[in-house]
A and B are shown apart, each in its own frame.
Chain A
Amino acid sequence: MNNSNNQLTIKNQPADILTMAEWLRVVFNQNNLPTDLLYKFDLCANEAVTNIISYAFDDTVEHKITLNFSENDSNVSLKIIDYGKPFNPLEKTPHLQPKTVEDASIGGLGIDLIRHYMDACCYRRKDDKNVLTIIFAKV
């Protein structure tokens, strides 16, 4: 676990999601950011990293996922980097609202939640890495 102030490296293991949540809590506290914003980032980072853990790697070897937090006068952002298969979650089309419980598809809602709670998301593939940045604009 490599943990500096604004950067955290975790493994592609579900248990490391709790490590990430705790790191986000500390970083948001240090930067005096409100708890409702922490909740949004915790949720969106959780969705993005859960996707990576579930789909990015075909083997069972441990892989690194790196998170970079940044804040400036206009926004708060989190960059999520993995070395898995190329995957742009933003290419996924949003879900249509099903009419009944029976019609509801199971899963795949994560990216819809990220789109809703964040003001911007961008993806790029760079040097065999997936780089997803989620951005919340300060009013």
Chain B
Amino acid sequence: MEINEEQLGGGVFKINLSGRMDITGVSDIEKPFADMTAVDSKQSIIVDMSDVPYMSSIGIRSLLINGKSVHRRGGKYVLLTPQPVVKDVLVVSGISQLLTICDTLEGAIDKVSS
């Protein structure tokens, strides 16, 4: 997997994930993903899932761990445009009830900025 980060302005950060999010994929991004979400000054984080074609429970675990870290310090953390098969896994596992999923970038920016 690959990971990079963009600063969108207004204190909003977008983390872009790319590739199969399973045991091997997550091991590629685990450390940088944690580092990007662990910064206290980052209170508004969007995780762009649009380039993730596949996700197993290890991927869910990774999204949750980092979501918890941001929530714990009062920050906002949303998932952006997961592909339909990935969204289904998020719904089945109950994660869609815990983390906000946005269908548009504008909606995601509104959610993390409010």
Contacts and interface: CB of A to CB of B under 8 A. Distances in A.
Bound pair (A, B): yes
Interface of A: 14-15, 17-18, 21, 36, 39, 42-43, 46-47, 50, 53, 95, 97-98, 100-102, 104, 106-110, 112-113, 116-117
Given A43-B54, A109-B93, 16 more contacts: A15-B24, A18-B20, A39-B54, A47-B56, A50-B58, A53-B23, A95-B94, A97-B94, A100-B98, A101-B67, A101-B71, A101-B98, A108-B57, A109-B57, A110-B56, A113-B92
Contacts of B114: none
A39 B85 contact: yes
A46 B68 contact: no
Interface of B: 20, 22-24, 27, 54, 56-58, 60-61, 64-65, 67-68, 71-72, 85, 89, 92-95, 97-99
Contacts of A110: 56-57
20 contacts: A14-B23, A15-B24, A17-B24, A21-B20, A39-B85, A43-B54, A46-B56, A47-B56, A50-B23, A50-B57, A98-B98, A101-B99, A102-B68, A104-B98, A108-B57, A109-B60, A110-B56, A110-B57, A113-B56, A113-B93
Nearest to A107: B61
Contacts of B56: 43, 46-47, 50, 110, 113
A102 B20 CA distance: 26
B22 A50 contact: yes
A17 B60 contact: no
Nearest to A46: B56
A106 B60 CA distance: 9
